[in-house]
Structure formats: structure tokens, C-alpha cells
Amino acid sequence: MTPLKLTRKKFRVVILEDDPYFMDLLVDVFDKSGKFSVIAKFTNIEELVKAAPNFMLRFENHQEEFPDLLCLDILTGPASDFGSDALNGASVSLYLKKMGIKIAVLLISSIKSENLQLLLGQNFSGYMFLQKTSRITDSEIIEMALKSIESNSAN
């Protein structure tokens, strides 16, 4: 990581997670780490998309408040909404990357995908993928979040 990133007290994170128990887990893990501050949390993709314009306006005038990391559940709605044109955590994050918004992304899903991180990482830096399991540890979440930020700041 760059020296600037190492000297910052806490990284700012926005969380999108529809499972209330996993949301609580993520907030707790990030808060307990001492390395992150959760600045916003959303339980569905629609809330995140509706809030984005207000966030962007605020961040234009207060760049020091811009999030360092988006921690996004890939599926944040009914399974029937999932498809190639579905609005989900992955598609929103890809849109932000294509728009040139420099932000790290940690995609989290119960869907097993060994190829997702490789696929995303080839086109955009700052992407990491973590599979939700009953065995996921606090240190795994924090490690992947930091790797995502490090990868994003390297480019």
C-alpha cells in the first residue's frame, strides 16, 4: 500500500447486504477491526442506486468523505431478478468502474465462483471476491477488503 493509505486512520466503507444477520456481521467486523468506518449501509440495490446521486454531489465538495470500499452482496433481491440484465451488486460496481470512479470493491456472495474475481480483475483493478459461508472469519473479510483497497490504489 502507498504510505498515504497506511497513515490514514480508517478506511470508509459502504455496505450493500440484504441478509440482516450478515449485514450485522459485516458492520461488526469492520467496526471491530479499527481499520474501517462504515459510512453507509443498504439492504437492497434500489436504495443504493437512489442514494448514489446525493452521495456523489456531497463527495464532489467533500472528497475526503468518499468511500474507499464498496462491500457488495452480488444478489440483493429475489432470485427471480437475477439475470444478465439484472441490477445487482456486481453490475452496479462494474458500471462505476466503467465510469472511471476509482473505488475498491469487495463482492460477497453465497454463489460459488472461482472465476468471478479473475474475470473482474482482468478488466478493472480493486476487485476482490469472497464467498459467504458459515466458516467465514473476521480476518478473511478484513484481509480481502484491504487487498481490494491495495489493488485499487496500485493503479
Amino acid at 43: T
Beta strand pairing call for 127-131 and 36-42: unpaired
Single pTM value for the model: 0.79
Positive or negative CA dihedral for 42, 109, 132, 107?
A: negative
Query: Strand, coil or helix: what is 100?
Result: coil
> In angstroms, rounded to a whole number, what is the distance separating the alpha carbons of residues 125 and 100?
11
Please, what are the domains in the chain?
10-154 (3.40.50.2300)
Q: Could you read off the pLDDT of 35-85 as tens digits, one per residue?
A: 999 999 998 878 877 877 777 666 677 777 788 999 988 766 554 454 545
Q: Could you read off the pLDDT of 106-152 as tens digits, one per residue?
A: 988 877 665 565 555 556 677 888 888 888 899 999 999 999 998 88
Residue 89 in contact with residue 74, Cβ under 8 Å? yes
